[in-house]
Amino acid sequence: MAQIGYSKKVMEHFMNPRNVGVIENPDGYGKVGNPVCGDLMEIFIKVKDAKIDDIKFRTFGCGSAIAVSSMVTEMAKGKTLEEAMKITRKDVADELEGLPPQKMHCSNLGADALHDAIKDYWVKSGKIKADEVKEVEGHEGVSCPTE
């Protein structure tokens, strides 16, 4: 099987993805999709002491999308919500030791789904209002203006 353009780390996370599954009654839930390629990612988080205590994903998509989902959950687990919000698509791609250019959109989805799950938690917990979420959307994986 050809692995052109895929790092060993991408292949490892695709073949042995971490944190696959669903969290029943999650504290935060994010769902993003790319209608062009058909990829769909869902991220579920449990929060304890303002940190991501547990995180799971369910992804329908290519090997890169699965690897990105696996990596983003690994990167976010144990971090504070603020730290996890700073994870960008570039961070995810770098951790995976690169993605082929035509697959970079997959790393956007991972960061976006994570950020959506955190925003969902913040809305549910009253930290932000639902109408404030829309202002942050559309930054394609770069959610912190302080970067």
Residues carrying an active site annotation:
37, 106
Alpha helices in 40-103 (DSSP H): 63-76, 81-85, 89-95
The DSSP bridge partners found for residue 43 are 30, 57
Q: Are 13 and 65 in contact (CB under 8 A)?
A: no
Helix, strand and coil percent figures for the chain, each rounded to 5: 45, 20, 35
Length of the chain: 147
Q: Which residue has the tokens 């994986």?
A: 141
Contacts of 129-136 with CB under 8 Å at 24 or more apart are none
